[in-house]
Amino acid sequence: MRRVIRLGVNIDHVATLRQARRGRAPDLLAAAHAAVLGGADQITVHLREDRRHVQDDDVRRLKASLSVDLNLEMAATPEMTAVALEVRPTIACLVPEKRAELTTEGGLDVSGNLDRLRETTDALRAGGVAVSLFVDPDERSILAAGEVGVRAVELHTGRYARAAGEEERLREFFALKQAARTAHELGLRVHAGHGLDYGNVWRVAALPEVEELNIGFAIVARAVFTGLSAAVRQMRDEMLRARDVAERGQ
C-alpha cells in the first residue's frame, strides 16, 4: 500500500516580514494561496500569545478563504482555546510557548501537564477541531500523548535538524524513527516538523509512519529567491522523491 505524505506550509515568517513595518505587505492570504498553488496540502500558522507575527484576524481570514486544511499551532491556554473554537481550524497543534524564545524550542511536557492537555483537547474536539501534540521524539512523551485522546503527534525534528555531525544526526534520526513507530502502534497519526530544510528533509519524509510534515522557515527563506510557489513545489518534490525511493527499496 502506498502511504501518502502531506506538506503543511508554515507561513509565520511571511507575517514576520509584514510586522517589521506593521503594514499590509506581504499579504498573508496571497502567500497562503501561492503555497497552495505550489502544492501545499495545508497552511500552518502559529498564533503566539505575544502576537509577534500572525494576528487573530489573519487566522479568521485564512479559515474563510482557504481551500485546504488549516493547522493552528497554539499554546494550551483558555485564551487560545477560545480563538480556536471561534475560528475552527481543521486541526490545532498544541505547543509549549515561552515568551523569550526565538522559535518553539522543545516539545510539550505531556506527562507533567496531562490534565490541562486533556481539558484543552476535550474542549477542542467537542467544537469539531482535531488535535495534535508537538512532542519530542522520546518514548515517555509518546506514551503520555497516547493517554490524552488526540488524533496525532507532531514529532519535534529540531534536534535532528540542528545536529552537529553525521553521528549525532543519525542518533537523532533513530529517535524519530522509534518514536514514529511507537506512536503509530498506539493508533496516533504521525506528523513531524521544525528545522527541516531541502537538505535534511529526505530521511524524515522516508519514514513510512510519517503522514505530514510542517515546514516554514526553509521554504520562506528560499521563496525570497524563487517565489513561494516554486519553493513549496521544490520541497514537495524532495519529500515525494524520498518517499518513493524508500518504498522502492522495501
Check residue 10 for interaction with ligand PXP (CB under 6 A): yes
With DSSP H G I counted as helix, E B as strand and the rest as coil, what are the percentages for the chain, rounded to 5? 50, 15, 35
Task: For residue 93, state whether it binds ligand PXP (rule: CB under 6 A).
Answer: yes
Q: Least distance in Å: CB of 54 to ligand PXP?
A: 10
User: Which 159-218 positions form the footprint of ligand PXP (CB under 6 A)?
Assistant: 193-196, 214-218
Cell numbers of 126, please? 467537542
Q: Is 235 in the site for ligand PXP (CB under 6 A)?
A: no
Contact between 104 and ligand PXP by CB under 6 A: the answer reads yes
Catalytically active residues, by annotation: 46, 73, 194
| 1 vs 20, beta carbon nearer ligand PXP | 20
Closer residue to ligand PXP, CB minimum distance, 182 or 214: 214
CA angle 54, 146, 135 (to 5 degrees): 40
Residue 46 touching ligand PXP (CB under 6 A): yes
Helical H runs in the chain? Answer: 12-19, 28-37, 56-65, 78-87, 114-126, 139-145, 158-162, 166-185, 201-205, 217-226, 228-249
Residue 96 contacts ligand PXP per CB under 6 A: no
For the CB of residue 74, give the shortest distance to ligand PXP in the complex, in Å: 10
Do residues 44 and 75 touch, judged by C-beta distance below 8 A? no
User: If binding is defined by CB under 6 A, does position 103 make contact with ligand PXP?
Assistant: yes
Q: What sign has the CA pseudo-torsion 10, 117, 153, 127?
A: negative
CB 74 within 8 A of CB 93: yes
Positions that interact with ligand PXP (CB under 6 A): 10, 12, 46, 73, 93, 95, 103-104, 134, 154, 193-196, 214-218
